[in-house]
């Protein structure tokens, strides 16, 4: 099963492929904040240290939000991404 590591919270969990990253955060007690939960507020912005390719491609709404706020290519919205393989979040 894919392993999700959230370094700042010292969390490392294994989840079934296809699990929403938001669910991983909620279930593991991560400190990542979720306000809108729909990809528009940026509160859940995370920086991916490795495994970017193991997240689902950005949704259209995520692409718009990330580009309008000038986010980096290795940053994603945790409320929009799904886990398909190992991922390390800063």
Q: Does 64 bind ligand FES (CB under 6 A)?
A: no
**Strands of the sheet with 45-50, listed across from one edge:** 11-14, 3-6, 87-89, 45-50, 75-77
Tell which positions 31-60 bind ligand FES, by CB under 6 A.
34-37, 39-44
63 binds ligand FES (CB under 6 A): no
Nearest to 54 by CA among 33, 10, 24, 28: 24
Nearer CB in complex with ligand FES: 5/43: 43
- Residues that bind ligand FES in the complex, under the rule CB under 6 A: 34-37, 39-44, 77, 79
């Amino acid at each position: 099963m894919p392993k999700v590591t959230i370094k700042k919270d010292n969390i490392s969990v294994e989840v079934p492929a296809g699990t929403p990253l938001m669910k991983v955060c909620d279930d593991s007690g991560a400190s990542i904040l979720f306000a809108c939960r729909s990809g528009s507020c940026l509160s859940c912005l995370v920086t991916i240290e490795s495994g970017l390719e193991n997240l689902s491609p950005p949704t259209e709404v995520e692409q718009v939000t990330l580009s309008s706020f000038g986010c980096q290519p290795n940053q994603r919205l945790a409320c929009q991404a799904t886990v398909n393989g190992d991922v390390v979040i800063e």
